[in-house]
Structure 1
Amino acid sequence: MRAVVAVLLFVTAAHAGLWGLLREKQQAAEFTGILPSVSYAPFDGSGHPDVDNFPTAERIRSDLKKLSAQTRAIRLYSSTGGPEMVPPIANEFGLKVNVGAWIDKDVTRNEREIQAAIDLAKHNANVSGIVVGNETVYRGDQIPLENLGLSEEERYRLVAEENQRVRDAEAQPADKRDEAVRWATAENNVRRLTRLIQRVKSQVKAPVTSGEIWNIWLEHPELASSVDFIAAHVLPYWEGFSAKQAVDQAMIIYQKLREAFPGKRIVIAEFGWPSAGYNRKAAVPGQFEQAVTLRNFVSRADSIGMEYNIVEAIDQPWKFFEGGVGPYWGFLDASRQPKFAWTGPVVDPNYWKLAGIALLVGILLSLPILQLAAPTAMQTLLLSAAAHGAGAWAATVFAYWNGHYFLFGSAFALTLGMILLIPLVAIALARIEEISAVAFGRKPRRLITRALTDAQETKRAAAIASGEPVNVPKVSIHVPAYFEPPEMLKQTLDALARLDYPNFEVVVIINNTPDPAFTQPIQDHCRELGERFKFINAEKVKGFKAGALRIAMERTAVDAEIIGIIDADYVVTPDWLKDLVPAFDDPRVGLVQAPQEHRDGDRSLMHYIMNGEYAGFFDIGMVQRNEYNGIIVHGTMCLIRRAAMDMAGGWSSDTICEDSDLGLEIMEHGWLTHYTNTRYGYGLLPDTYEAFKKQRHRWAYGGFQIIKKHWRRFLPGNSRLSRDQRREFGLGWLNWLGAESLGVVVAILNLIWVPIVAFADIAIPDKILTLPIIASFIVTLAHFLVLYRLRVKIGVPQMLGAMIAAMSVQWTVSRAVAQGLITEHLAFARTSKGGLTMMSVEFQAFWEAVIGVLLLIGAGILVVSNSNIQITEIYIFAGVLVLQSLPFLAAVAIAILENSRINQFGWWTATAVRTAELIGLRPVALPTPIPAPQKVASELHRDA
């Protein structure tokens, strides 16, 4: 334990050290003066000014009092709806004001804005200028003729000129036409704007201009001629320049304007950098980037005597329509607190608070390690590192929540995302825990191994030789069957007859199978095998397989102490009972489970990978769960103490996984269970991919039924389940049912989100929502590959195929969980085996194909739509969609494989031979991959 505590302290210290090393500190030019001008909007909160966001005089006075210590002037963008209160209040604090008249396509509003701006200029001596329109030409808003103050004749002449300009543009060659039309339209807007500026200039003495992006001034010099000074917007962020390039770019543009308009007063009417939001090409928002950019710009601008206005003073949360960065241009946040200092190193004032959160969460998530049974140092190191990684993510989430403004929609999206991501992170941590246990933990101690059974046999033989009494409890083996191929079932019974155990009986129960072709051969065969074999043909049995097993219990020998269950397709080895029954010498043991294995993995490539997929559960998950007495009982190769079964209430028909249900009931009554990963029986794989999916659907649906039936037993004091057993079952259900269902839900939600991101240019998922999905996928991939290599004795090709097979049932499991939520009971679906199943004419992965293709199309749309602005989060989002498509496409791949020639091993052999001949080598015969269980089954069949 000391080593474990030492490792925990080491990881915590390393985590704290990383925060210290990674703390960002940047140098920037210091500014101790007063800004010449800042943009100011008096609106508060997230409501749009046109709807309900009306400022009060008190709010404006409070803002301007604070700003008066930082600037000499204020720039407004409108003169109605609240901003008209600014000039007189600004005068109280000695602030100059450049009033704005917002101009768009609304005639009535334009007229109100124009008159209000004129009135403010006439009645407030501190109004130093009027800005008519803000990026009106850039936005392409055509100013209504009614606002220009023209006579009818002037209007007619203006419209005629505009139409002729457009016609001339449309007459240009095809390769120049679009650009010519764009320029003609802009020129028309410029002409109207100049007329409006002339109208305002005729009524005021204050200088009049218009606010436009810098290139508009260069492209339309007649606009510059109409204004008293040039008010150019220089915002390198929107042009995709990096924060390091921004100031240089602004200076270059300023020089261009001076050269283009010598002698004209030039004001950089907007310069700024957002503190949050999404990147645009090389332009990355951020608090550090904003602080460094603004401080360097102000220093450079002051050194050359530039007139400028910083956009903007205070964050405006209502500006979500300007994209992700819209609300974050202020150097004060919405609470009127400074985001950075204008002097000294640029640092994050909340950095150590975030570090504290990360460390606290990491420590809390590490505490369960202390409850593990004898964890190793490496196991502790991996688990603690994962816990602190989750802590760092939690701190990042807190920083995002604390540093962003949320409308209802974005807050809802983030909350929903976190609701889905928290269990996803929990699943990833659980999988890391399993990796650590298998790769670095102690070797299994409760597992029944061949060495252990050999030692038991040696001890038993010695006892017999010495004349000591040896208990040989009677075993009643139950074989339920429903429309099973008779030849297959005969092989199962022949193998039971060869059991190397002196005291057993076999009860064969065929239920609801009226066709004598399925029942009579088995009845005759049981007579041939002797009195140990009892045959029951039960019709109209209710309760599916559980109902049949209840009838078998009624015909079980009174002196049978142990009940064995095998499926009708399982060929057992002779030493099954001899090796495993001695485990019941411990009176506390209620159940012993052996793994499933299959003897037909060489039927096709599909069956080959399916067999590999099954092996993972029995060699990894079951072995680990056995260490905590928390195995999942599956209804074949299972031995159950009769007393434990009676105490648990016997076979129940209220779930379609009666075997797992009974096993959990037995554990809930305090019995011990044991598991062996030694193969003692070999069954048949599902005939088709359809049967494989139906079987997985039944398991998942039955598992969900068991959750609904037993969840109260997992509450403290409601059963004899230990804390470890509760944890294993809880994490097991979450890891299987939860992971698959969450994967599908998140994929569908992301698919719905694609058009919003691609076409609405809003609600782009932040990295805190997308990177955990990628990290979870990587953990899942590592979990599969590492554990398979360490525990499952199969080759790499079969392992990779098994991974595809495991992914392919994600949609199937999620459907089962969804049906479990809305239904109580589904009919028991027999898994078709034995080669009697007809191949379905339907494509077995239709919906998986639809969703998988849509995810790929969505990723493509995101990449194409993002090619101009290159937002990193969109590329990450597209990558997430591609990853999420893989399970769906895996199902499509297997469904296509099943009906193709390459599914047959013979095709691969023939192809290899033909290839060898083509390249001049003599034909070679490649070995057919035949699993070891096939050899065993073949030998058993030959002996029969």
Structure 2
Amino acid sequence: MRNVLVACVVVCAAALHACVWFALQDRVIPPDAKGTLASVSFSPINPDLDGQVDETTEAQIRSDLEAIAPYTRTVRTYGSTDGLELVPKLAAEYGLRVTLGAWIDEREEHNEQEIESAIALTKEHRNIDSVIVGNETIYRQRSEEADAVKDLIEKIQRVKQAVSVPVSTAEVWDIWLDHPELVSAVDYIAVHILPYWEGLPGEAAVDHAMNVYRQLREAYPGKHIVIAEFGWPSAGLNRKDAVPGQLMQAEIIRDFLTRADAMGIDYSIIEAFDQPWKTFEGSAGPYWGLFNADREPKFSFTGTVETPNLTRNLITALAIGLLLSLAIFAIPGVRLIQAAVLAATAQGVGAWSAAVANYWLMHYFVLGSQVAMVAGAVLLLPLVLIIMWRIDELAAFTFGAKPARLLQRREAAPARTPLVSIHVPAYREPPDMLRQTLDSVAKLDWPNFECIVIINNTPDPALWEPIEEHCRHLGSRFKFIREDNLSGFKAGALRLALEQTAPEAEIIGVIDADYVVHPDWLKDLVPAVEDPQVGLVQAPQDHRDGNRTITKAIMNSEYAGFFDIGMVRRNEANAIVTHGTMCLLRREALHDAGNWSSDTIVEDTDLGLTLLERGWRAHYTRCRYGWGLLPSDFAAYKQQRHRWAYGGTQLIKKHWRAFLPGGSRLTPQQRTQFLSGWVTWLAAEAVGVLIAILNLIWMPLVAFLGIAVPQSVLLLPVLATFCVMLCHFMVLYRTCVRAPIFTSFGAALSAMALQLTVGRAVVEGFIKDGLPFARTAKGVGNWSVKFPAFWEAILGSLLLIGSLTLYLTNDQQVFEISVFSVVMLVQSLPFMAAVAIALLERSPLNRFSTWRRLASRSTYVMRFPRGPRPRLIHR
């Protein structure tokens, strides 16, 4: 019955998704354009070729003329060589007239060939109505405008003397208004009016064209005027208020055709076919055609025009959404509201996927843009998975069933008290701290335990002699071991401890040298190991010095999220992460897993994963039974996280075969928890750093060279990931960690500050082997001379400069550039968070006493805002 209800929720989410698509479907009903077009720009070349350097062929020209002939009476060419000299002859076969172009540029030899060919063709073919010498020649040479006008007039006059048809040149409208001498030299004005390039909104495009036409008529009465180019791109980036689009293109062109025909205006529409090679004209350059590159019409000239490819995009979006929704059925005891949130998320990812696929199918790509698009989509896949996983976690804790596997405190005395051997590895630890740990062990409310203290590679007698003496003082249950030539880091010490463990000990307890344990630790948790299938019982880490400074408080709150959110969630799938303190291990399970391993520098997590792979069960409790010391400063905090992340990559390399079908006894839920954990932590940070660096490289190309920026379909997931991450922190820290808003914000800041550290560790983990175990300095330490967030400051500053540069250079107000600017700003936040914490750590504002003084002063001022201050009487 539950699956039926979940299926109904999934179907409802899909139905609502479909309704949104239909509701957002645009449709326009512009005036019908009856009859054939007066003229269209005609550049017949294979879409896979470059029209600037490649010649067209007779077969291509014939094919293109056949496609366009039913729609127009005339074709306008832009050149008379490189194969275009065949156009007049072939056009005549289809009953088409020709406005012949002669291309003029800085190559005088080529210009001569164009002019000679145009003259010869005009004399040979009767279907040539006029010749246009040069296309926006003056516009392209505005730096030398006077000389360009003079030279062009000479060429025009030369052609006029040689042919019997009207001769002109084609220019944008302000060139004609600025140069009456050019008007005098031509037989008619061939004006280009392209509102898109002027940044005008589509609604004003046709009115603008008509106003320019009237303005030219008033300036040059009696002169024949032809609108030689008018059009609108179907895709590309916006320019100010001009937004390309297929529906907008249809609406503008059909409106223009109707009004031009009614006013008797001669015109030529740019252009017949999309030209994928016109990337030099910016993002919209390839998309001005009435037909796409496959020679298919983009819209009908009569009736309603609707959003293209709606059915295809809808089916793609729904199919992906429904496919992703199947995972909901695998969640034990899923609640309906929880299922609704997850189904909506799946449908959202489906919509984004359909948008990416549609962008790929509806745009033209050169090799570089293909690589950029594919690479961008691949890099974004981890971010999309992260979004889904974090929303899944939000839904689970907010709307899902309460955790069922958490161990709780026990009231009754245990029926059996097996011997527990507690191992305390220590390496160059302060004696006072370690004595405090051993004293807490001595107070455990458990009658049957031993404690083995292993001090390894610590030759300084001042560090180990007081501990040896203290063990003698605490009694026979405390065993002291020292080994100065021990290999294998912490795992080596724990193996040595196991060798010295009493034969009858059934359970091994492990605590770090800085941990003070609660007397009830063993009494409450050892009974859970009575189940012979249980190999591990884990209690959370906590810290007793989190109230010393602001930075330690936010570090501690960041740790708490993992233990009160992530570990609780993983425990429900028997997939907790073992951390090498506050854990109890069945001795039999430890031997079955092959003992502590030094293959990685995270021997604890390595052992825990091995236990799960071999089918052992693990339990977790949220109750705090031990309190250690936080890293001494931000540098130590980063060093510790680097070790964990580097060790995480070692685990992936060591255990990946266990995640293959039949590779181990891991359940699908356990595999999911570990894989998603690695993706949301290791991959997220590494990909985040990589995308930030790639955007820094890309930014100058966008800001200074005008190269098209990554489209919003590739940029928006970056923003969505940040928003979901922030929501995840703020909601779950309030509900699960019970942290106030300030603490939740601090935890988010602290987590973000580690992005570069984790990203670097992931890269090193895959390219370097055998980095040594680095002990984390605990308690109160001295700051290093080196600023601990130096590289974060560099990257963060560059991203901020890049964001500002994009904003200041975006004079065309391109939406994607604005989004790009915001993305770079958001990407700078993790790096600047590290800078902020490093600066705060060295500031008086890091002390709670400073804030208390500031608060008391502000209260004092609020109570006595005006007038003389009261005298303080000392008694």
TM-score w.r.t. length of structure 2: 0.98
Show the counterpart of 1:635: 580
Show the counterpart of 2:802: 858
Show the counterpart of 1:144: none
SS in 2 for 1:98: strand
Within the candidate set 827, 839, 849, 2:793 is matched to 849
Q: Is the 8 A contact 1:410 1:763 kept in 2?
A: no
| Total equivalences in the alignment | 865
Show the counterpart of 2:817: 874
SS in 1 for 2:661: coil
Letter paired with 2:391? I
Show the counterpart of 1:168: none
Please list every run of 5 or more consecutive structure 1 residues that lacks an aligned counterpart in the other structure.
Answer: 142-181, 461-469, 924-944
Quick one: distance in 2 between partners of 1:288 and 1:771? 24
Letter paired with 2:766? L
Show the counterpart of 1:908: 851
Give the deviation of 1:513 after TM superposition: 0.2
Give the deviation of 1:186 after TM superposition: 2.1
Q: Is the 8 A contact 1:485 1:834 kept in 2?
A: no
Residue 125 (structure 2) pairs with residue 109 (structure 1):
no
Within the candidate set 171, 178, 187, 1:212 is matched to 171
SS in 2 for 1:131: strand
Residue 213 (structure 2) pairs with residue 254 (structure 1):
yes
Show the counterpart of 2:634: 689
Give the deviation of 1:332 after TM superposition: 0.3
Q: Is the 8 A contact 1:132 1:209 kept in 2?
A: yes
Quick one: distance in 1 between partners of 2:85 and 2:190? 21
Residue 569 (structure 2) pairs with residue 624 (structure 1):
yes
Within the candidate set 451, 455, 462, 1:517 is matched to 462
Give the deviation of 1:918 after TM superposition: 4.1
Q: C-alpha deviations, 1:366-415, integer Å up to 9, x for none?
A: 01111110100010000000000011111111111111011000001000
Quick one: distance in 2 between partners of 1:62 and 1:487? 90
Show the counterpart of 1:401: 360
Residue 523 (structure 2) pairs with residue 578 (structure 1):
yes
Q: C-alpha deviations, 1:85-134, integer Å up to 9, x for none?
A: 11110111111111111111111111111111111111111111111111
Letter paired with 1:356? I
Residue 817 (structure 2) pairs with residue 889 (structure 1):
no
Q: C-alpha deviations, 1:176-213, integer Å up to 9, x for none?
A: xxxxxx6xx42332122112211211111111111000
Show the counterpart of 1:929: none
Q: Is the 8 A contact 2:649 2:762 kept in 1?
A: yes
Show the counterpart of 2:134: 133
Q: Is the 8 A contact 1:8 1:381 kept in 2?
A: yes
RMSD of aligned Cα (Å): 1.3
Letter paired with 1:67? I
Show the counterpart of 2:873: none
Letter paired with 1:367? L
Q: Is the 8 A contact 1:595 1:637 kept in 2?
A: yes
Stretch deviating more after TM superposition (550-559 or 14-23): 14-23
Q: C-alpha deviations, 1:503-526, integer Å up to 9, x for none?
A: 101000000000000000000000
Give the deviation of 1:911 after TM superposition: 2.2
SS in 1 for 2:313: helix
Within the candidate set 1, 26, 29, 2:28 is matched to 26
Q: Is the 8 A contact 1:476 1:504 kept in 2?
A: yes
Show the counterpart of 1:750: 695
Give the deviation of 1:575 after TM superposition: 0.3
Quick one: distance in 1 between partners of 2:485 and 2:308? 75
* Structure 1 segment 714-729 matched on structure 2, within 5 A: 714-729=659-674
Show the counterpart of 2:872: none
Letter paired with 1:586? D
Q: C-alpha deviations, 1:319-338, integer Å up to 9, x for none?
A: 00000000000010010000
Show the counterpart of 1:418: 377
Q: Is the 8 A contact 1:46 1:316 kept in 2?
A: no
Q: Is the 8 A contact 2:545 2:779 kept in 1?
A: no
Quick one: distance in 2 between partners of 1:213 and 1:31? 25
Q: C-alpha deviations, 1:450-494, integer Å up to 9, x for none?
A: 3xx23xx26x4xxxxxxxxx3211100000000101000000000
* Structure 1 segment 82-481 matched on structure 2, within 5 A: 82-140=83-141, 185-450=144-409, 453-454=410-411, 457=412, 460=414, 470-481=415-426
Letter paired with 1:98? T
Quick one: distance in 2 between partners of 1:108 and 1:863? 43
Give the deviation of 1:838 after TM superposition: 2.9
Q: C-alpha deviations, 1:710-757, integer Å up to 9, x for none?
A: 000111111111111011000011110011111111111111110111
Give the deviation of 1:916 after TM superposition: 3.5
* Structure 1 segment 923-934 matched on structure 2, within 5 A: none
Letter paired with 2:314? A
Quick one: distance in 2 between partners of 1:921 and 1:648? 69
Q: Is the 8 A contact 2:508 2:586 kept in 1?
A: yes
Quick one: distance in 2 between partners of 1:576 and 1:844? 37
Residue 672 (structure 2) pairs with residue 672 (structure 1):
no
Q: Is the 8 A contact 1:49 1:81 kept in 2?
A: no
Within the candidate set 712, 719, 727, 1:782 is matched to 727
Q: Is the 8 A contact 1:46 1:407 kept in 2?
A: no
Give the deviation of 1:424 after TM superposition: 1.2
Quick one: distance in 1 between partners of 2:554 and 2:590? 35
Quick one: distance in 1 between partners of 2:359 and 2:693? 24
SS in 2 for 1:700: helix
Letter paired with 2:31? A
* Structure 1 segment 58-69 matched on structure 2, within 5 A: 58-69=59-70
Give the deviation of 1:656 after TM superposition: 0.2
Residue 674 (structure 2) pairs with residue 741 (structure 1):
no
Q: Is the 8 A contact 2:238 2:815 kept in 1?
A: yes
Within the candidate set 443, 452, 455, 1:498 is matched to 443
Quick one: distance in 2 between partners of 1:267 and 1:852? 54
Show the counterpart of 1:930: none
SS in 2 for 1:8: helix
Q: Is the 8 A contact 2:730 2:741 kept in 1?
A: no
Q: C-alpha deviations, 1:202-237, integer Å up to 9, x for none?
A: 111111111000111011111111100000000000
SS in 2 for 1:132: strand
Q: Percent identity?
A: 55
Q: Is the 8 A contact 1:288 1:346 kept in 2?
A: yes
Give the deviation of 1:6 after TM superposition: 1.4
Quick one: distance in 2 between partners of 1:503 and 1:494? 16
SS in 1 for 2:713: helix
Q: Is the 8 A contact 1:594 1:675 kept in 2?
A: yes
Q: Is the 8 A contact 1:42 1:82 kept in 2?
A: no
Quick one: distance in 2 between partners of 1:63 and 1:787? 61
Quick one: distance in 1 between partners of 2:333 and 2:438? 45
Residue 514 (structure 2) pairs with residue 569 (structure 1):
yes
Give the deviation of 1:440 after TM superposition: 0.6
Give the deviation of 1:919 after TM superposition: 4.4
Quick one: distance in 1 between partners of 2:280 and 2:273? 17
Within the candidate set 728, 739, 753, 1:808 is matched to 753
Quick one: distance in 1 between partners of 2:68 and 2:601? 71
Q: C-alpha deviations, 1:254-285, integer Å up to 9, x for none?
A: 11011111100000000000000000011000
Please list every run of 5 or more consecutive structure 2 residues that lacks an aligned counterpart in the other structure.
Answer: 870-875
Letter paired with 1:263? G
Quick one: distance in 2 between partners of 1:540 and 1:189? 85
Within the candidate set 6, 9, 15, 2:8 is matched to 6
TM-score w.r.t. length of structure 1: 0.91
Quick one: distance in 2 between partners of 1:442 and 1:765? 41
Q: C-alpha deviations, 1:624-678, integer Å up to 9, x for none?
A: 0000000000000000000000000000001000000000111111010000010
